[in-house]
Chain A
Amino acid sequence: MGFLNRLKTTLFAQDEVRRRAEEEAEFHLAMRTEEYLNQGMTEAEARQKARLSFGNVLSQQEQAGDTDMLAGLEGTMRDVRVGYRRLRRSPLFLVSSVLLLAIGLGVNAAVFSVLDTLFLRSLPFPAADRLVVLNEIRQGKNSNSNPKRIADWRSRVSGFEIVASSYGESMQLREREGNRPVNVVRVVGDWLGLLGAPMIEGRRFTDDELRGGKVAILTAKYRSLARVGDTIRLGADAYQVIGVVDNSAALGEDRHVLTPIAADLLDGPRKAGYLPVVARLKQGVSIAAAEAEASSVAEQLGREFPDSDRGTRVRIVRAQEAWSEDAREPALYIQGAAALLLLITLVNLAGLLAARAMERKKEDTVRLFLGAGRWHLIRLHLVESALLVGFGCGAAMLLAPWALALLQANYGDDFAPIKNAAIDVRVFGFLMLTGVLSTLLFASVMAWQSSREKDVRGQSQFQLRNLLIVSEAALGMVLLAAAFQLVRDFNALRFSPLGFKEQGLLSARAYLSWSTDEKELRAAIQQGMEKTAALPGVSGVAIVDRLPLEGESQDGPVFIQGLPEKTPETVGLRMASNQYFGLMGIPLLAGQLPTDDSAVLVNEAFAKRYLDNNAIGRNVSGDGKSWKRVAGVVASVRYSSKQALPRPEIFYSERTQYWPMLTFVIQTSQPAAALSPTLRKLWAEINADADFKGVSSMETRIDEIVVQPRRQRDIIVIFGVVALLLVVAGVYGIMASEMMRRRREMGIRIAIGASRSDIIGIALSRALVLGVAASALGSLLIVLVLKQWVDSLSTGCGVAAILAGILLAGFVPAWRGSRADPMVALRQD
């Protein structure tokens, strides 16, 4: 009978039951209030006392509904309502924790979508899992290939289905209204077939056309440049447009047109190295098998072409891996920082929730007393956490696209695939997973806290919060130390003496095509130098292949007269005019500047490494046949923002090196903006195909060059500051509630003669203990995991920052506690 009734109630009469309970409670309260009124209480008193004696109306109602048989769904729905009401009752907590979660989860979702695109998801090409990159290794260094060797890989390695390559070039598209710079992809072999890029119109290149044919295929994004069948003029040559291809063929959104590589480059020397080798494995061929076969082909080639191919080794890696390699380090930084930030956010929230659970202890005790099972309480915590995390995830989904756009704006130029990242189902899945884990974390913290029902005001309850706050502060300290390290690294890179001066200098860049013939290039360099020097206000001009920190130009091993072998490492083979060193303030340490093209300069690193610091008059050679005499030694300057130390370099005259990406250093008192239009016009006259990149001040240009480490620093610093704020807030919370709890004790202490500063001291020493524990834990983490990246000075700075933050956070509640009137404090409870 009872069973059937309950079943009926559960199935049909839930609302009815609840309404009835409400009405009965209302009636009861009214009667009780009346009774108290009759006893002479005021109405407010009577109402309050009635309510008190009745207990929590809310629990009553729940209790009435607790007769469920099917406790599952209906019960959970009710818990959701209860949980929502509980959250709504503290809107500040709700808003701030949802915001916290949104930031933590949103940033991680965006970072995840980037990592997913870069490393996890397969490339958007057919048979992407068989797409590989063949690295040619010479002198222990990955180096690029050339059309001849690519042809050999194609014809001799049977495990490859297709071998192809491409390189980018910026050229001038000649239109009636003038020139328009376009990005051209020069393809070698069946590049479109390799990537399986779908043709939108027209056809792919034929085998015949791939041998230097003057035909072009537009990318879909820029198909408006011409119609299929039209002829376009790129630089000096005319190309017939034969088709339009999907943008994926260009491996980037900003490429306009694809053409076969020029015929003369196809016949270029085997020594050249400017093409990556991309291949598709035949079905069923493993990477290891292909690598073994390619290695034996490499040995054959070494015997056939000892000059160029001897000692070449081969390594084959998945294309996905190879193409995201440069992104690995920044990705690691950002991923690590984002994960730490999320962890800090979660720990912080867990602390807040633990505090809430403690405050609600009374309410929960009442629930327990009224017969709510322990499991029911845990379920309530679970539901409340899930609600909170659910809101957080929702807000994170709103925030994530924004964070992703920020990442794309910062890194998209360097790592093109990032532009394809999107907040999609996979990111959603990641969020869900993180959400479920955080929910479990929160719920267990709350359950742990509230299940310790004995000892209502005892110490033990604070232990969990202490543990949470210490780990939070420790993680924050790690992030801060990393931020300090990056700031110091960046300052060392950018602001400590770089070995050259920047003031009063401009840099102008004019990039000529790599197919520019040598005579034309020399003429362009000479005219560029002369015409720029003749401009009013210009007091000096120099040319160089690349500015300091800008990265590699050409390099290779060299012969040094008197030594039997080539240098074991590659050395920088630079191009610079004599004026460069004077204008940049790079001192000549020994000898003199070369007076003719048979002499070169070496840098100090080269002289020390190979010539026992006694370089003048020694001879060096790239091929062992034509020798150059070392005329002087110049100070070493870092060539790359990635390498901490300068490398050995040889500086050749601008009349002997081939490097068409021209950078001019101009000494002038004029601002960059004033000179830019003049120079642009000048370059249009000197070489119509030059891609003039504009003029900027040397400071601006170097800033541009080091933008990557700067971005890295900025992101980690932002993360570090956010972490510090979270830690300060967390410590403030725990200290404030602790001072509240110990008010009576402090009152007694003051009453028996403790001074206010004693009280502050007691409270602060508590904060100090937290800080020291956190610092120790954080330092341990750094030593265990980040020793390579974060040195002891940065660790010390991190410790100092976190200690300062914690003490500051502890001071306010301590000061307030010390101000308390002992009489008021003692009268409490």
Chain B
Amino acid sequence: MSSKTRNDALSGSLTLLVLKTLALGEMHGYAVASRIQQMSSDLLRVEEGSLYPALHRMEQDGWIASRWGLTESNRKARFYTLTKTGQQQLEQEMESWRRITLGVSLVLDAV
């Protein structure tokens, strides 16, 4: 239940997190989830149920591309990479995210 509350705050930023993670290089969905968790020092957990729909949506929007490939353990997996449009999108989203967080923290610190 408690992960749910975290997720709520996260849901708007899922696209941003995924784009940012994929900027590190080509990886499969599971790796994306683990990476986010790892990079956030376990503070953020991506609900798998929303990850794959998000990946799918982003691919259709042309921000990421995907192909079937094999993992180190020889499993078949879908690998995602950032496209050029995705790169631009990432920059845009990072910009707007920074603006928002800056705004929010200004408000929070104002008291």
Task: Spell out A's residues near B (CB within 8 Å).
Answer: 1-2, 5-6, 9, 17, 20-21, 23-25, 27-28, 30-32, 53-56, 59-60, 63-64, 66-67, 366, 369-371
The 8 A-B pairs with the shortest beta carbon distances in the complex, nearest first, are A55-B49, A2-B61, A31-B30, A5-B60, A63-B53, A1-B62, A54-B48, A27-B77
Q: A312–B61 Cα gap in the complex (Å)?
A: 90
Q: Jot down 22 A-B pairs with beta carbons below 8 A, ordered by A.
A: A1-B62, A2-B60, A2-B61, A5-B59, A5-B61, A17-B56, A23-B78, A24-B78, A27-B28, A27-B29, A27-B75, A30-B75, A32-B48, A54-B49, A59-B49, A63-B49, A66-B53, A369-B49, A370-B49, A370-B50, A370-B53, A371-B53
Closest residue of chain A to B59, judged by CB?
Answer: A5
Q: Give the complex CA separation of A753 and B57 in angstroms.
A: 59
One of A24, A66, A366 near B29 (C-beta < 8 A): A24
Q: In the complex the two chains form, what is the Cα distance from A25 to B53 in whole Å?
A: 11
Structural contact, A21 and B56, CB atoms closer than 8 A: yes
> How many residues of chain B are within 8 Å of chain A by beta carbon?
21
Tell me the nearest residue of chain B to A31, going by C-beta.
Answer: B30
- Residue among A2, A20, A55, A67 making CB contact with B62, cutoff 8 Å: A2
Report the separation of the CA atoms of residues A53 and B34 in the bound assembly, to the nearest whole angstrom. 13
Any A CB within 8 A of the CB of B26: no
Q: How far is the CA of A66 from the CA of B33 in the complex (A)?
A: 22
A-B contacts besides A20-B78, A63-B52, A371-B50, 10 pairs, CB < 8 Å: A2-B62, A27-B28, A28-B29, A31-B75, A32-B30, A54-B49, A55-B49, A59-B49, A67-B57, A366-B49
Chain B residues close to A by CB (< 8 Å): 28-30, 33, 47-50, 52-53, 56-57, 59-62, 75-78, 85
Q: Taking the nearest CB of chain A, how far is it from the CB of B94, in angstroms?
A: 20
Please determine whether B56 and A67 come into contact, CB atoms closer than 8 angstroms.
yes
Q: Which residue of chain A is the closest to B28 with respect to CB atoms?
A: A27
Q: Are A55 and B52 in contact (CB under 8 A)?
A: no
- The answer on a CB contact under 8 Å between A24 and B60 is no
State how many angstroms separate the Cβ of B19 from the closest Cβ of chain A: 15
How distant is the Cα of A1 from the Cα of B63 in the complex, in angstroms?
Answer: 10
CB-nearest residue of chain A to B30: A31
Q: Which residues of A contact B77 (CB under 8 A)?
A: 24, 27
Instruction: Report B-chain residues with C-beta under 8 Å of the C-beta of A28.
Output: 29-30, 33, 48, 52
Q: How far is the CB of A154 from the nearest CB of chain B, in Å?
A: 83
Q: How far is the CB of B10 from chain A (nearest CB, A)?
A: 13
Shortest distance from the beta carbon of B17 to any chain A beta carbon, whole Å: 17
A32 to B49 CA separation, bound complex (whole angstroms)? 13
Contacts A27-B28, A28-B29 known; A55 to B48 CB distance under 8 Å?
yes
Interface of B is mostly: helix
Which chain A residues lie closer than 8 Å to B59 at the CB level? 5
A20 to B80, CA, bound (A): 13
Per the bound structure, the CA–CA distance linking A28 and B28 in Å amounts to 9
Residues of chain A within 8 A of B49, CB atoms compared: 54-56, 59-60, 63, 366, 369-370
Least distance between A64 CB and chain B CB atoms (Å): 6
Cβ–Cβ contact B76 & A27, under 8 A: yes
Instruction: Identify the interface centre among A17, A24, A53: most chain B CB within 10 Å of its CB.
Output: A24
Q: How far is the CA of A366 from the CA of B48 in the complex (A)?
A: 13
Determine how close the nearest CB of chain A comes to the CB of B89; give it in whole angstroms: 11
User: How far is A30 from B75 in the complex, measured between Cα atoms in Å?
Assistant: 9
User: For residue B61, which residues in chain A have a CB less than 8 angstroms away from its CB?
Assistant: 1-2, 5
B1 to chain A, nearest CB (A): 12
**Closest A-chain residue to B77, C-beta based?**
A27
CA distance A233 to B20 in the complex (A): 107
Complex-state Cα separation, A490 to B24, whole angstroms? 89
B78 touches A27 (CB 8 A): yes
- List residues of chain A with CB within 8 A of the CB of B48: 28, 32, 53-55
Closest chain-B Cβ to A182's Cβ sits at a distance in Å of 80
User: Which residues of B have CB within 8 Å of A54?
Assistant: 48-49
Residue on A nearest B50 in the bound complex, by CB: A370
List residues of chain A with CB within 8 A of the CB of B28. 27
Looking at B29, B53, B78, the one whose CB has the most chain A CB atoms below 10 A away is B53
Contact call B52/A25, Cβ cutoff below 8 A: yes
User: What residues of A have a CB within 8 angstroms of the CB of B50 in the complex?
Assistant: 370-371
Interface centre among A20, A28, A59 (most CB of B within 10 A): A28
**Complex contact B52–A64 (CB within 8 A):** yes
Interchain CA distance A27-B56 in the complex, whole Å = 16
User: A9 and B52: CB pair below 8 A?
Assistant: no
CB neighbours (8 Å) of B52 from chain A are: 21, 24-25, 28, 60, 63-64
B76 touches A23 (CB 8 A): yes
Q: With the chains together, A632 CA to B62 CA distance in Å?
A: 110
Whether A55 contacts B47 by the Cβ 8 Å rule is: yes
Q: In chain B, what residue has the closest Cβ to A54?
A: B48
B62 cross-chain contacts in A, Cβ below 8 A: 1-2, 5
Q: Which residue of B lies closest to A17 (CB)?
A: B56
Q: What's the nearest-Cβ distance from chain A to residue B81, in Å? A: 16
* Cα distance, A17 to B85, chains bound together (Å): 22
Residues of chain B with a CB closer than 8 A to A66's CB: 53
Given known pairs A28-B48, A55-B47, A60-B49, the reply for A9 and B75 (CB within 8 Å) is no
In the bound assembly, the distance between CA atoms of A23 and B68 in angstroms comes to 10
What CA separation (Å) do A6 and B33 show in the bound complex? 25
Whether A27 contacts B30 in the complex (CB less than 8 A), given A1-B61, A2-B62, A5-B62, comes out as yes
A47 vs B67: C-alpha distance in the bound complex, in angstroms? 27
Closest to A27 in B: B77
Which residues of chain B are within 8 angstroms of A53 by Cβ–Cβ distance?
48
In the bound complex, CA of A6 to CA of B48 (Å): 22
CA–CA, A24 and B30, complex, Å: 9
The winner among B50, B59, B60 for most chain A CB atoms within 10 A is: B60
Please state if A6 and B60 are interface contacts (CB–CB under 8 Å).
yes
For residue A50, which residue of chain B has the nearest CB? B48
Distance (Å) between the CB of B69 and the closest chain A CB? 11
Complex Cα–Cα for A668 and B30 (A): 97
Chain B residues within 8 Å of A63, by CB: 49, 52-53
Which residues on the B side are within 8 Å of A370 (C-beta)? 49-50, 53
Nearest to A55 among chain B residues (CB) is B49
Q: In this complex, which of B29, B33, B49 has the most chain A Cβ atoms within 10 angstroms of its Cβ?
A: B49
Min CB–CB distance A361 → chain B (angstroms): 15
CA distance A221 to B44 in the complex (A): 86
On chain A, the residues within 8 Å of B47 by CB distance are 55
Name the residue on A nearest B78 (C-beta): A24
Min CB–CB distance B32 → chain A (angstroms): 10
Find the B residue at minimum CB distance from A370.
B49
When distances are taken between beta carbons in the complex, the residues of chain B under 8 Å from A31 are: 30, 75
Q: State the CA gap A552–B99 with chains docked (Å).
A: 99
Docked CA distance A23–B30 (Å): 12
A30-B76 Cα distance, complex, nearest whole Å: 11
Q: Return the chain A residue nearest B58 by Cβ.
A: A2
**Which chain B residues border A371 with CB–CB below 8 Å?**
50, 53
A2 CB contacts on chain B under 8 angstroms: 60-62
Query: Nearest-CB distance from B28 to chain A (Å)?
Result: 7
CA distance A30 to B85 in the complex (A): 32
Query: What distance in Å separates the Cβ of A619 from its nearest Cβ neighbour in chain B?
Result: 100
Cα distance, A1 to B75, chains bound together (Å) = 32
Which among A17, A55, A369 has the highest number of chain B CB atoms within 10 Å? A369
List the A side residues contacting B56 at CB < 8 Å.
17, 21, 64, 67
Across the interface, name the chain B residue whose C-beta is closest to A56. Answer: B49
Q: Cβ of B60: which chain A residues have Cβ within 8 Å of it?
A: 2, 5-6, 9, 67
Bound-state Cα–Cα, A370 to B49, Å:
7
Cα-based distance from A31 to B57 in the complex (angstroms): 23
Q: Which residues of B contact A24 (CB under 8 A)?
A: 29, 52, 77-78
Q: For B30, list chain A residues within 8 Å (CB).
A: 27-28, 31-32
A21 to B66, CA, bound (A): 13
With A6-B60, A31-B30, A53-B48 in contact, is A64–B53 under 8 Å at CB? yes
Chain B residues with CB below 8 A from A64, complex form:
52-53, 56
Q: Which of A9, A56, A371 has the most CB of B within 10 A?
A: A371
Q: How far is the CA of A56 from the CA of B47 in the complex (A)?
A: 12
* Nearest opposing residue in chain A for B48, CB measure: A54
Complex Cα spacing A54 to B33, Å: 11
Residue on A nearest B31 in the bound complex, by CB: A31
